[in-house]
Amino acid sequence: MGTLKHISWRLVNVVPVLVVVSVLTFVLGHLTPGDPIEAQFVRTHTAEQIDAIKLSYGLDLPVWRQYLNWVGDLFTAGGGNSIAQGREVFSILWPAFVNTLILTVAGVAICVVFGVLIGAVAGLNHGRLLDRLSMLVVQVGSNLSVYWFGLVLIWIFALRLQWLPVSGMESRGGGGFGDLVAHLVLPGFSAALIAMLVLARFTRLGIVQESNSDYVRTFESQGLPRRRIVGKHIGRNILAPIVNITGLEIGTLITGVIFVESVFNWPGIGTQLLNAVYGKDYVLIQGGVVLVAMCYLVVNLLTDVVVDVLNPRLRRA
Amino acid sequence: MVPAILALACALVLAACGGSAGGGESNGGDAAQGDGTPQAGGSLVVGLYLEPLALDPHRQAFWETFRVSRNIFESLVNEDLTDTEGPTELVPGLATAWESNADATVWTFTLREGVTFHDGSPFDADALHLNVRRVWDETYEYFDDQSQPRLLQWLGTLADARVVDEYTYEFEFSTPQPGFPRGLAQAMSTLPIGNPAVWEEVGNDAFADQPSGTGPYRFVSRTVGDRIVLEKNPDYWGEEPYLDELVFRIIPNNQTRLAALISGEVDLISYVQPDDVGTLEQQGFQVPEGTGAAYLYLSFNFQNEDLQDERVRQALILGLDRQRFVDEVYNGDALAVYSSLHPGNEAYDPDARDFEYDPDRARELLAEAGFDESNPLTFTIVIDVANQAQAEWLQSHYKEIGVEADLVSLDRPSYGARAVAPEPGDGFDISEYGGTYAEWLYYAVNTGIARRGFDVATQAPELVAAIDEASRTTDPAGRIANWQAADALLREKALTVPLVTHTRYYALGPNVRGFVWPATNWYDLTKVWLED
């Protein structure tokens, strides 16, 4: 019951955060330079003609009226009509959001599996060559730009070796699960890279620390098999911090996904937002930012719950 | 896993060491066009650099939108898009003939019979009339207030429009419109024909989700941010196109679009970067040469007092070696332009020159205007970050005549905002546009120049008079001559600096045949076919 109450309280707290996010998004969207109609017609239409077009979009209303209209649209009109596409923004954002989710889930899976693996291998071989080499890769990798890394992956695996596709989610006339997985490998790796290496470092540190602790020494002196010590005791003790770090890193990962989508032309919400920013499509930008903000909040909430469940000691705190 | 990571690290090192990429077939840059017998069938995938806007005939902007939509919607008048020299010849479209009265205020169109929209409903004068009413007649239930102002450019002085009989239609303007047929042919902001039955059923906003026209291809699906799919219209009135399906993928990232072409994921891309032309040709990809209608030019900021001085503006043109710009920035793959009526325009005059390169004269003029080594002319160049290389070249080139320019490089929306509302220290920005119709000069003056602080009416009354005269000239030869005369005044006043027009813009896969880059900003895909 305590947990349930805790979660409900967290849910209630989400509301004011969303209000603040919506106001900030709206204000920033309107403060930054550029205008969607000017962008389209500045070379072909005179100033009077452009003003007439703005009028037909209600862009001449005072900013607070535009904000209230937009908040109303969020609940009743699918987030309002995109200025560039003329259709409801959620009908545009939703499929893109699902695509981003697919990429994010793949990224998280790669991040967790390989992050823990690298960290474990390094940690269990603490001080040996394998450990040093892994940590060198981790060190170098953490400093790569996601954008550049993505382009290098394309160049090697798609253009030179031709093992994997360059862009998008499906091949020509293709489709199917296998095809999707093939399209996921490179963007998934690019998206996961930084978070994966951070996780590897924490996992390694956890294992090294636990291995040097008194209880492990005791078990070892009693002759418990190493496999059992690692699997049952060290493993369980470092699980909660791993989940915690993963939760935090998902945030980093989502931010990275936006660049990755641009490089691999993944039709997700990052691509949509980038296009919207180019066209200064306020309505689409605002809807997208609110959606991404909600994602962050949900991920944070879920991480809290999972950590809560895994680590009973935190429940009383 | 660790070995895999290590392998990756090694691969990165190898990548850094370079070597030539070996993506496509390397048959030595053989750009064979239209040889062999055309084969019907297949799907062509096009990589666009920009997300097209709504697929609504009357709410369009951006060439990438039109390159897609013109397969769905047609206009009364077409252009001969096999013409690579320009100006393109006007040919019948949904109208088979057209004529005007003596002062070009009343235009009568004879419509093509036997044409149907994609849902089978007939195209006739009544359907055309509903198209006109949608963008012009406020009493029509489906009058679209978002379309109307976009089409003011051509329909602003439309006084009446009427059905004469089932296949005859008349437009009546309150001012002469001698360029109306060409305006119709460059249909993006004139009057492409949509299916009124559809907007009367689903409403104006939803029309773009199920666009319906008379064109050679019909709409199948669209995922915004990803792709637009069209299929062959089996009931098309004209010559049957070869390809069964057209897929337009949106790939804004320049490197990714290039990689998608090289890996064979797409067959045709637009906006090829100058530095990629050589690589592509080496690997057997086709990079057709041509002169489209878009051109690059410098727009002065007349709110900068230094640039109100005609001598200073002249000096900036005299001090510019455009051929060297072409050679050094575009590796020769561009054409230096010396007039706003660029090669794609119907009033293009290849001999028109503003000022030939003469750095000594440029320095003299600057000195006369009061600038020297101790007090150099300084200003800011404002650019879209996509034109970074061009701007850096200009910056260093202008040093040669003693001009000190700063560079402000902005993302697209910020650039757009600053270009229409420049700061006092801004000198010029790099703009890109260009219509195929002569009337484009009117817009060049009344948008780019007038909006940046040059009061055309008082500062160049003779230019206004010349444009006015040209707009009213109905005799075809006299009309072109008058627009050229207006352009001569524009050049003499040094109001704009034409730079270049692209000669390499599209790239095609090795098996694409029949593609022609006409002297316009769009292309015809009905003649394109894929070789096995």
Q: Is A84 close to B259, i.e. CB distance below 8 A?
A: no
Distance to chain B for A280, nearest Cα, Å:
6
Structure tokens at B16: 């850094």
B417 vs B215 pLDDT, higher one: B215
Confidence label for B17 from pLDDT (cuts 50, 70 and 90): very low
Q: Taking Cα atoms as reference points, which of A294, A292, A311 lies closest to residue A239?
A: A311
Length of chain B: 532
Length of chain A: 317
* Predicted TM-score (pTM) of this structure: 0.86
Find the closest chain B residue to A264 by CA distance. B256
CA atoms within 13 A on the CB side of B142: 21
Q: Is B54 close to A86, i.e. CB distance below 8 A?
A: yes
pLDDT in tens, B403-446: 999 999 887 777 877 887 888 899 999 988 877 888 889 888 88
pLDDT in tens, B301-343: 999 999 999 999 999 999 999 999 999 999 898 999 999 998 8
Residue labelled with tokens 């899976």: A109
Q: What is the mean pLDDT of chain A?
A: 83
Lowest mean pLDDT among A203-217, B6-20, B499-513: B6-20
Q: With an 8 Å Cβ cutoff, is B12 touching chain A?
A: yes
Q: Is B417 close to A35, i.e. CB distance below 8 A?
A: yes
How far separated are the first and last CA of chain A, in Å rounded? 15
| Residue B43 CA: distances (Å) to CA of A173, A174, B36, B265, B531 | 9, 12, 19, 12, 11
Predicted-complex ipTM score: 0.83
Q: Taking Cα atoms as reference points, which of B463, B90, B245, B13 lies closest to residue A152?
A: B13
Output phi, psi for B498, to 5 deg.
-65, 140
Distance CA B247, CA B382 (A): 36
B437 vs B2 pLDDT, higher one: B437
CA atoms within 13 A on the CB side of B348: 23
Q: Taking Cα atoms as reference points, which of B508, B37, B48, B23 lies closest to residue B290?
A: B508
Find the closest chain A residue to B251 by CA distance. A265
Structure tokens at B141: 């239930």
Structure tokens at B349: 């005059």
Q: Is B224 close to A96, i.e. CB distance below 8 A?
A: yes
Distance CA A166, CA A153 (A): 9
Task: Identify the top-confidence range among A13-27, A130-144, B69-83.
Answer: B69-83
Answer yes or no: is pLDDT of B35 > 70: no
Instruction: Report pLDDT for B282.
Output: 93
Q: What is the mean pLDDT of chain B?
A: 88
Confidence label for B141 from pLDDT (cuts 50, 70 and 90): very high
Distance to chain B for A297, nearest Cα, Å:
25
Instruction: Report pLDDT for B113.
Output: 96
**Strand B227-232, strand B217-223: pairing:** antiparallel
- Describe chain A by its helix, strand, coil percentages, rounded to 5: 80, 0, 20
The one-letter amino acid code at A88 reads E
Distance to chain A for B487, nearest Cα, Å:
17
Q: With an 8 Å Cβ cutoff, is B420 touching chain A?
A: yes
Q: With an 8 Å Cβ cutoff, is A163 touching chain B?
A: no
| 3-state DSSP assignment of residue A46 | coil
pLDDT in tens, A88-112: 888 889 999 999 999 999 999 999 9
Interface test with A, best of B63, B253, B440 (most A CBs within 10 A): B253
Output phi, psi for B343, to 5 deg.
-55, -25
Distance CA B359, CA B400 (A): 8
Distance to chain A for B441, nearest Cα, Å:
10
Answer yes or no: is pLDDT of A180 > 70: yes
Q: Is A121 close to B2, i.e. CB distance below 8 A?
A: yes
| Omega cis (within 30) before B476 | no
> Are the CB atoms for B452 and B497 separated by under 8 Å?
no
CB atoms within 10 A of CB B291: 24
Lowest mean pLDDT among A64-78, A103-117, B391-405, B446-460: A64-78
